[in-house]
Amino acid sequence: MIDLHMLSLSNVNILNLSCEFPRLSLRDNKVILSGTPWHGSATYADPQSVELSHLLFLQHGKNNRLQAFSSLEASARLTAASIIPYWDHMAVPKAVQVTAEACMRCKAAMLEFRPDKTTVEFLENADM
């Protein structure tokens, strides 16, 4: 298992957002991912927000590999992985719109990866 606290990509700034229920939103034509403010007292997670440029769907594999997705496929996968507030009929269209917009604005891919340190080198050299 890769310990996110120990990862360091030389060409990428890493911010470990609290990951239980991150929030996706659109601000000033940018896709924003925000950590939850309820991250508890643990010091590993950050409740900040960052601009999102890529969506990577993770899957264990025998090799490290990126498979690009169309915005339509990314939207279907992101919607399936999201908590859409179905109980609130006013919020559903907004959630679907944000998901669709995020997938149109961000590059999306499946990251099939080996659960070891070779993934770090692979991502450093990947053409995303």
Mean pLDDT by 10 residues, the chain (128 residues): 42 60 88 76 70 90 94 93 89 92 94 90 85
Query: Model's pTM, two decimal places?
Result: 0.75
Do the domain assignments include residue 3?
no
Number of domains, the chain: 1
Residue 6: which region, alpha, beta or left (left: phi > 0; alpha: psi -120 to 50)?
alpha
Do the domain assignments include residue 86?
yes
Q: What is the pLDDT of residue 22?
A: 79
Q: What is the pLDDT of residue 93?
A: 93
Do the domain assignments include residue 8?
no
Q: What is the pLDDT of residue 1?
A: 34
Do the domain assignments include residue 52?
yes
Do the domain assignments include residue 108?
yes
Domain boundaries, position 103: 23-125
